[in-house]
Every structure is written in structure tokens, then in C-alpha cells.
Amino acid sequence: MPGFAWYSHELCHWHDPGPGSGYVPVGPWVEPLRQFAVDPDLRRAEGLVRAYGVLDRFDCLTPEAATDEELETVHSAAHVSRIEEASARGGGDAGVYAHVNYHSSRAARLAAGACAAAVRDVVGGGHDRAYCLVRPPGHHAEPDRAMALCLFNNVAIGARAAQGMGLSRVMVLDWDVHHGNGVQKAFEEDPDVLYVSIHQDGLFPPNSGSVTETGVGAGEGSTLNIPLPAGSGHDAYLAAFTDVVAPAARRFRPELILVAAGVDASGHDPMGRMLCTSLTFHTLVRKVCDLAGELCGGRCVFVHEGGYSAWYQPMLVLGTASAIADLPAPEDPFRHSLDHLPGQRVQAHQRRVLDFLRDHHPLIR
Ligand SMILES: [Zn+2]
């Protein structure tokens, strides 16, 4: 009887971009604190999911490291070598703000391998849904460049794994607060992979993720960016899903939905300026599951990306995991500080982005 799969690996917690403050390594003006995306927090997130019995609803699986062949469905061989060599040296920047330690290459291969395995599992009928709680994240990693904590592009490698199993149409939905430039770049000319990103307008990378980026050549129409203004909250995210994401999916008719399920669009995240709560992510996951049920036999795979609030990330992961496992939204003692904010309602300038896409995007206009 298929159920839900949980992919994680101890070594993913051993990746560490080294001493710094926030995302900036130690140097002039920067005293040692810690860089984001080190994983006492992700380990605590998994601990919360276990403590509240939600992990018991999943089959916990240990992934294999992605092979060169799997990585090179998205990345150049030179890129893979650069990550390996930087890791073997024990540290340094393997790209642009993509610092590594000795374990990073192995951790990144395991994160990508988890994603590919989860896709094969769900597409093969082994489980109904899967969640990969992995690090390092992946959606900024371009075919030939590591970027912003991301070494290998986990969801892109997952999408290629699905194509390798014969799927004709794969949808990648990315609700990390940053734009997934790496996923977009990997598939912008591929009409068979629809990339949809809901992100904070103009945040990171600079000049990336505009409404006017709709795909290239044969891929025209298969890139859909929803850049919400800073300050968008629960209702704006749900409106983006209902008014843009769902109609696009119904037009595209994917055979699998892969979600880059970052939680850094929360109202307590230091890297973004959005207002989402654990209920937002729980509701979005439920909507994806319903949409997958309608369009592709329920097949969906969720992959962790960003999330940098030490105190709130565990609750956001619990909300995500609970929804995947068909459980109600958890009680969230942090929501009282976010739910009442006026920005939780849709504002006119946020609505304009959705209206523009509905009227102009080649897939849904
Ligand atoms: Zn992010």
C-alpha cells in the first residue's frame, strides 16, 4: 500500500559553508558568527517532525549519492569537478557565495541523489508522495556555476530523472522566496518542463525572475515567474496559486509535480521580506496534492530549499510535512505574531502582478 516517503541523510547536516555572518564569510568588517544554511536548524526541524509523531506517517529512506551521470543531466563535467576539488581542499568558494567544507560535495551528491530517488520512487508507484529534507539547497545552481549556497540543482536533477523514466511533461513549482535562476536556466529552452516560481520581486539574484521571462525558443511559455512585491502574505500566496499556478498547470497537464519547497518566505525569515506562516505552507502543499490528484495521479515530490529562521524553520517544516502526510495544520505558537498583520490580505499592487500574468503570459492568457 503506497504511502509517503521521507528522504534525508546525516551527511547533509555535515555540509557547512564555514564561519561568517549571515551569508557573508569572515573578512573585513565581518566578525565570526555563523553562515546561514548550516544545520543545527534543519536537524531541529527533523526533530520536531519526529517529536510530534508526523515522521511516523512516512517511510524514512536513506538516499544514495548522485552519480556523475545523474549530475551531468543538468551540470557540466567541469562544474562537478570544481565542487569536488573545492571540497577536497577542505574549503573555499566553489562558485558565487557557494562556500564548501570537506563534506560538501558528498552532501550535495546525497541531496541530488535523494531528489532523483524520490522521483523514481513516486513515478514508479512505490510511494504516493515524497519529501526530501536535504542540504545543501539547489535552485540557484546553474548548469556551470554554483551560487548562493547551492552546489547541485536538486529539483532540476529530479526533473531530468523523471524525463529519464519516460515522462513527457514535468512541472517544477518553486516557492522559495528567492528566484530559482538555476532551474529556469536548466529548462528555459525545454518545452517539456514547466518552471513556475513564486518569489519576492527583485530580491535575488538581481535582475532575475521577471514576468517577462517566459522561456526561450522552443521553451517559450514554459517559464512562468510570479514576482510578488515585498510584504506579500498568506492571501497573496494563495491567490497566486489559485489564479495563476493552477490554471497554468491545467493548461500544461504535467505527469509529475516537483516542488522546490523552501520556507524562507516566512514572516520570521532574515533573508526575505514576506509574511507567510506555517499555515501558508500547509495550505499550499494541500493545494499541490489536490492539483496532482486532478492532473497526474497524485504524483508530487517536495524538496526543501531555503529557510533561515533558527526559531521558525522547524515549525514551517512541520507544517509542510503534516500536509504531505494528510494531517491537519499543526498548532503554531509563532503565528499570533504574524496572522494579524494587515499585509496578510491581498493588496492592490500584489493583485496587479497576478492580473498581468493572467492577461499576458503565453500559457494562460
Ligand atoms: Zn531562498
How many angstroms separate the alpha carbon of residue 107 from the centre of ligand 1? 18
Does pLDDT of 39 surpass 70? no
How many angstroms separate the alpha carbon of residue 13 from the centre of ligand 1? 18
Q: pLDDT tens digit string along 254-279? A: 999 999 999 999 999 999 999 999 99
pLDDT computed for residue 2 by the predictor: 87
How many angstroms separate the alpha carbon of residue 139 from the centre of ligand 1? 8
- Say which of 140, 178, 179, 268 is annotated catalytic: 140
Contact 309, 337 (CB under 8 A): no
Q: What is the 3-state secondary structure (H, E, C) of the chain?
A: CCCEEEECCHHHHCCCCCCEEECEECECCECCCEECCCCHHHHHHHHHHHHCCCHHHEEEECCCCCCHHHHCCCCCHHHHHHHHHHHHHCEEECEECCEEECCHHHHHHHHHHHHHHHHHHHHCCCCCEEEECCCCCCCCCECCEEECCECCCHHHHHHHHHHHCCCCCEEEEECCCCCCHHHHHHHCCCCCEEEEEEEECCCCCCCCCCCCCCCCHHHCCCEEEEEECCCCCHHHHHHHHHHHHHHHHHHHCCCEEEEECCCCCECCCCCCCCCECHHHHHHHHHHHHHHHHHHCCCCEEEECCCCCCCCCHHHHHHHHHHHHCCCCCCCCCCHHHCCCCHHHCCCHHHHHHHHHHHHHCCCCC
Q: What CA–CA distance (Å, rounded) separates 209 from 357?
A: 13
Does pLDDT of 37 surpass 70? no
How many angstroms separate the alpha carbon of residue 176 from the centre of ligand 1? 5
Q: pLDDT tens digit string along 1-20? A: 789 999 999 999 999 888 88
- Average pLDDT on 195-213 reads 98
How many angstroms separate the alpha carbon of residue 142 from the centre of ligand 1? 15
Q: pLDDT tens digit string along 141-173? A: 999 999 999 999 999 999 999 999 999 999 999
Q: How many CB atoms lie within 10 A of CB 360?
A: 12
**Structural domains in the chain?**
4-13+39-64+112-360 (3.40.800.20)
Of the pLDDT bands very low, low, confident and very high (cuts 50, 70, 90), residue 72 is very high
Does pLDDT of 249 surpass 70? yes
How many angstroms separate the alpha carbon of residue 306 from the centre of ligand 1? 4
Q: pLDDT tens digit string along 86-98? A: 999 998 899 998 9
Report phi then psi at 202, rounded to 5. 75, 15
Concerning whether 15 is annotated as a catalytic residue, the answer is no
Q: pLDDT tens digit string along 303-338? A: 999 999 999 999 999 999 999 999 999 999 999 999
- Average pLDDT on 22-48 reads 85
pLDDT computed for residue 337 by the predictor: 96
How many angstroms separate the alpha carbon of residue 166 from the centre of ligand 1? 30
How many angstroms separate the alpha carbon of residue 27 from the centre of ligand 1? 23
How many angstroms separate the alpha carbon of residue 30 from the centre of ligand 1? 22
What residues are paired with 195 via a beta bridge?
A: 172, 223
